[in-house]
Chains A and B, each alone.
Chain A
Amino acid sequence: KAGVTQTPRYLIKTRGQQVTLSCSPISGHRSVSWYQQTPGQGLQFLFEYFSETQRNKGNFPGRFSGRQFSNSRSEMNVSTLELGDSALYLCASSLTGDLMNTEAFFGQGTRLTVV
């Protein structure tokens, strides 16, 4: 059974550009959550998608957006990149989302560097 796949693994972008990251969940999982991990802020929740709908959202500016497709694959987009957006972006998939009995499985992450 394949795990959670994130692409690309590494990315270097210039300030002001926009970037799209991709996450393919474990087969059969319908929930995908996105997290930003930085040395200063730790792991912070961005948003969660379930059945193509954004179900939960963290406290990030509108420059951070996402979507989920009918096959449960999800993309995250960051527009007008800032230096502070440099981070490891992780996605996690679970059967039904962060509710009572679900376990989250994480991908290897995408390391984004903004220069």
Chain B
Amino acid sequence: KQEVTQIPAALSVPEGENLVLNCSFTDSAIYNLQWFRQDPGKGLTSLLLIQSSQREQTSGRLNASLDKSSGRSTLYIAASQPGDSATYLCAVSYAGKSTFGDGTTLTVKP
């Protein structure tokens, strides 16, 4: 059974700092890994999708890496802003099912 773990559960940083969120999964047989952002009480917004054959994806200030063999992914956020405050979830997909981590709640202080 696939299990996804995200560390830390919560993170508070001052504005402008670079930060890394971690995601680990137990079964390396995945099709892709996706990072999402969720604001309180809202749905999920897709940030980056990394296919199993890829090593990283970039979008603006965000960079996600994937090491399938070690079961790890990181989301790097550069020059953090208060608007980045949200919960970040990673999900791995295989054979039509997605397994989500519990998320990291990020607070960026002005």
On A, residues with C-beta under 8 Å from B are 4, 6, 33, 35, 42-45, 48, 55-56, 58, 88, 90, 92, 97-109, 111
B75 to chain A: which residues have CB within 8 Å?
none
B residues contacting A by CB (< 8 A) are 31-32, 34, 36, 41-46, 49, 51-52, 89, 91, 93-103
> Are B51 and A101 in touch, CB under 8 angstroms?
yes
Residues of A within 8 A of B94 (CB): 98
Q: A88-B41, A101-B32 are in contact. Are A43 and B46 (CB under 8 A)?
A: no
Task: Report the bound CA distance from A58 to B93 in whole Å.
Answer: 13
Flag if A104 contacts B34 (CB, 8 Å): yes
Q: For A105, what are the chain B residues with a Cβ–Cβ distance below 8 Å?
A: 46
- Nearest 10 A-B pairs (CB), nearest first? A56-B96, A43-B100, A106-B44, A106-B43, A98-B93, A108-B43, A42-B102, A103-B49, A109-B43, A98-B96
Q: Decide: B41 and A106 in contact? CB cutoff 8 A.
A: no
- A48 to B46, alpha carbons, bound, how many Å? 18
Give chain B residues whose Cβ lies under 8 Å from the Cβ of A107: 43
Pairwise interchain contact B96-A48, C-beta atoms closer than 8 A: yes
Instruction: List, in ascending order, chain B residues with CB within 8 A of A106's CB.
Output: 36, 43-46
CB pairs A–B below 8 angstroms (8 shown): A4-B43, A33-B98, A42-B101, A98-B97, A99-B93, A99-B96, A108-B42, A109-B42
User: Which of chain B's residues has its CB closest to A100's CB?
Assistant: B31
Contact partners of A44 in chain B: CB under 8 A? 100
Q: How far is the CB of B59 from chain A (nearest CB, A)?
A: 12
Further contacts, 10 of them, CB under 8 A, given A35-B100, A98-B93, A103-B34: A42-B100, A55-B96, A98-B94, A100-B31, A101-B51, A104-B46, A106-B43, A106-B44, A107-B43, A109-B41
B13 CB → nearest A CB, Å: 23
B92 and chain A: residue at smallest CB distance: A98
Say which residue of A4, A6, A45, A92 sits within 8 Å of B97 (CB atoms): A45
A90–B43 alpha-carbon span in the complex (Å): 7
Contacts A101-B51, A106-B36: A56 and B46 contacting too (C-beta < 8 A)? no
